[in-house]
Structures are given as structure tokens and as C-alpha cells.
A and B are shown apart, each in its own frame.
Chain A
Amino acid sequence: MSDKPKIAIYWCSSCGGCEEAVVDLNEAILDVVDAVDIVFWPVAMDFKYEDVRKYKDGELLASFINGGIRLSEQEEIVKLLRKKSQLVFAFGSCAVMGGIPGLANMTNREGIFTRVYKEIESNDNPENRVPETETKLDGKYDLELPEFYNSVYPLDQIIPVDYYIPGCAPSPETITDAFTAILEGKLPEKGSVLSPAKSLCDTCPRKDTKPDRIEIERFVEPHHYDKLDDGRCFLEAGIICMGPATRGGCGERCINANMPCRGCYGPPNDVKDQGVRMMSALASLIKTDKEEEIPKVIETLPDLIGPLYMYGLPSSILFRRKIK
């Protein structure tokens, strides 16, 4: 058994992109493997839950957990990892704030099961069966499935989280900076997000084109706009760029690809609910003052939760849509 610090990487309700982000470190991953022992990484290594349970409490230096929590199994394992780890890092937007899976908070288990298992046109499910936590197969085999929660939760609503590594997925720079900080013992105070505190506008390549006065006459979706590559600030054209309400550190990969920011790095330091902040900013910039005209401007944006809460619905003030 080596003396290297032990780390675990675990995925909950996720797409696998965060795992790929680790692999995206390319050669740098060899430095990581040199410095630490990865003792649990379901996607890449054959360790079992049992192996994790055998460790002493706090024996692992750090667990990097990505994905939102919506299954009882996920809750169980993240709680296990919390016990066994000195530090827990919420890795990626889903763990930090719920992520895109978090949009499932617009519905609930019943809604999802009905749609997925009953309604979908290509289903072959004549008995309308839905997943159950306990099933007896052929009268003799007991099969168990985790419980499927009604809502998706960010990691810190299930277990205490020490640090947050934001992004969908976190950029190689963000990950490298975080790993370096850990290995050099230079982590900031607990609860910090390991990415610059200021919003994206601070480092945005289009910042200089942003006029001092922005007046929105209507909202425009990127695919309806033909000058995305003119290098000018998106908000000027009425395109929703979440940049002003999104923390920086991602390298502006989307902006450099001529697409507006969608907010995956989460809100800047002093903001809890990213969506309502951006909504306030956008509403404040509407040009017309006329009572009859204002709703018409807002109607050009038929879906508000989509752009405003794409990654952060479970960490928002209202948390989820109420099911009638």
C-alpha cells in the first residue's frame, strides 16, 4: 500500500462529461496519478463500494463527486464518501448547483416515469410497468433498484461540501488549478468556489465592445441572429448571455466559439440564485417605459427558466416547480 494520498471520483446523476474532463487533462493526468492514488472511480477502475467501506473515516484525502443527487443510492454513496474523506469537492455544475439534470425539477417522479415508461411512442411496455424499488423476478430472484426522488439536489443539500469546482464540464485549467492547490496545500477558506470570483464580463474578449448604455427592445435567440461572429457584446443585440451573472475561469470557450455564455460556471461569489439576478439585470435594461409595451418585449422570450436556470434550478431560491 503506497503512502500517496488517496482520492475518489464518483458520479451521480451525470452525463459522464466530468469524467472526460479529468481525462482531458491529457499528459497532465500522469502527474495526477503520480501524486495520488485513485482508490475509487467507477467509470475507469474496478473498485467496489465494499472497498470504500473498508477505509477508516477520513482516510481518503479527497473525494471528487460530480452529478446531481436524485437516487437513494447516490445519497447513500455520497454520504459514505463524506465519512471516509477529509475533503469533499463538488465537481462540475451538476454537483455544484444541480446542472442540466436539475431542470427535472420542473416535473417529478410520476411525471418522468409516465413520460419515459408509458407515453413514449417507441416503448413496448404493454403492462405499463414502471421501475420499482423491489421486484421479484421469476418468483425467486429479489431485485432492488434505488429509490427515484422527486427532485434533483445539488451535492451540498445532501452532504456538507468543502469546495466547489464549477463548470459543465470544468475546464482543464480549472481542474489543474484545483488539483495544484490541493497538492500544494494552498486551498482557500472552506466553502470557496475554486474559480475567479468576478463575473465573466471581467475577462470577456467582447467586453470592450459593450456600450455604456444597453437598451433591449426585444430578446433574440442565437439561432435567429446572423451576426454572432461580429465580436460584439451579445446583450447589445438582445441575445441572452449569462456572462454578467456567471463566474469566470472557463476561458470563455463559448464566447470564443461565437456563442453566448449559458452560465455553467454558476453565479459569482455573492450571488446565490443566478437566474433571478440575471432576470433583474435583463428587465432593468428593457428600453421602453410604456406599461403596454413592456409585456410585449418580454413575450419575445417565451421560456424564462430555460435560459436563466439552465444549470442552477436546484440551487435557486424556489428550488423546483410546484406540481399541481
Chain B
Amino acid sequence: MTETRFEPNIVAFVCNWCSYGGADIAGSMRLKYPSNVKLIRVMCSGRVDPEFIMEAFRNGADGVMVLACHPKDCHYIEGNYKALKRYNMLKPLLDQFNIEQDRLCLDWVSASEGEKFARVSREMNERITKLGPLNWEKAIGPVRSTEVLS
């Protein structure tokens, strides 16, 4: 009997100037990484709201990545530092909710780092596969209101 293998659902927020470009380069180099990682483009990692990350976990994501410009390289000067601060505060908060800290990852990927993009995606996929599905709806039991996303 074959067991259906757990395929994580991973959302990666990428910024227009750096990590989106890094993902493009990974493509040009035909580097392979798991299709579980799906990208949402924002102009700056500083736009990534912890609310988005919570909604992602709430609605089926098993892992979330925020991929930003390297320190000092942000197109908008310091958006990546904002992202870093929020990420650092969100992690222990998620931990208090018993969402494993490894489910949220922030890393620096420049517009030329195709290899790093593919590697980070692969590694995240492995980590989440080991952790298993988050299945937040099931974990929190029945809730009686209408869903929060449109």
C-alpha cells in the first residue's frame, strides 16, 4: 500500500529588487527546487506584514519564507531591516502559539543569487517535510465563524 507523501505548502514572499531576481536567475540556470515553494511578489520585504504570515499559517501554509535583500543593499534603504525586526518578534510570538519556529524563515537573497535561492527553497522544503503538516484549522478545532480571507 502506498502512503501519500506529505507535500508541504510553502509560501515565499520575495521582494521585487533582490529575491525575485534571484528566483529568476535560478530559473535561467535551470536549477531545480521543489514546486511546493510558491512566490508572492512585493516591492520590498519591508511590506511583508506579520499579519500575512499569520493568515498564511491559518489558511493552510505549512511554512513561510521571507526572502529579502542583504543588509545594506535594500533598494529602499532599510526595508529589509524592518522585515528582520518584525520577523524576530514574530518568531517567539508564533512559538507561544506552538507554531514551530522553523516554519518561518527569513533569509537574504540578492538578485544574482540563483543558487542560494534554490538551496534555501530546498532546505526549507526538507525542514517542513520533517516537521509535518501544520494543518492549523484542524489543530485549533471547529470554529464557528466565516473564514477570514476573501
A–B direct touch in complex (beta carbons closer than 8 A)? yes
Q: What is the interface of chain A, defined by CB distance below 8 A to chain B? A: 106, 150-151, 153, 156-158, 272-273, 275-277, 279-280, 282-284, 286, 289, 291, 294-295, 298, 303-305, 308, 316-324
The contact sample of 18 A-B pairs, CB cut-off 8 A, is A151-B141, A157-B143, A275-B93, A276-B50, A276-B54, A276-B93, A279-B50, A282-B89, A283-B90, A289-B78, A294-B84, A298-B92, A303-B96, A308-B93, A317-B148, A318-B58, A318-B97, A318-B99
Bound state CA distance, A324 and B134, in angstroms?
11
Partner of A273, one of B54, B57, B99: B54
Within the complex, the shortest CB–CB distance from B130 to chain A, in Å, comes to 16
CB distance B51 to A317 under 8 Å? yes
Q: What is the interface of chain B, defined by CB distance below 8 A to chain A? A: 49-51, 54-55, 57-58, 71, 78, 81-82, 84-86, 88-90, 92-93, 96-99, 136, 139-141, 143-145, 148
Bound state CA distance, A142 and B97, in angstroms?
39
What residues of B have a CB within 8 angstroms of the CB of A291 in the complex? 71, 84
Bound state CA distance, A298 and B99, in angstroms?
18
Which secondary structure dominates where chain A touches chain B? mixed
CB distance B96 to A295 under 8 Å? no
- Given that A273-B51, A280-B49, A289-B81 are known contacts, is A304 also in contact with B145, CB under 8 Å in the complex? no
CB distance A283 to B88 under 8 Å? yes
- Which 5 pairs from chain A and chain B are nearest by CB? A283-B89, A157-B145, A322-B98, A322-B139, A317-B54
- Given that A304-B96, A305-B93 are known contacts, is A280 also in contact with B88, CB under 8 Å in the complex? no
CB distance A279 to B93 under 8 Å? yes
Known: A106-B96, A275-B93, A283-B50. 9 other contacts (CB 8 A): A157-B145, A272-B148, A276-B51, A279-B86, A279-B93, A280-B49, A289-B71, A317-B54, A318-B54
Within the complex, the shortest CB–CB distance from B140 to chain A, in Å, comes to 5
Bound state CA distance, A320 and B148, in angstroms?
15
Bound state CA distance, A106 and B96, in angstroms?
8
- Given that A280-B49, A284-B85 are known contacts, is A158 also in contact with B96, CB under 8 Å in the complex? no
What residues of A have a CB within 8 angstroms of the CB of B50 in the complex? 276, 279-280, 283
What residues of B have a CB within 8 angstroms of the CB of A283 in the complex? 50, 82, 85-86, 88-90
Residue in A closest to B96 when the chains form the complex, CB atoms: A305
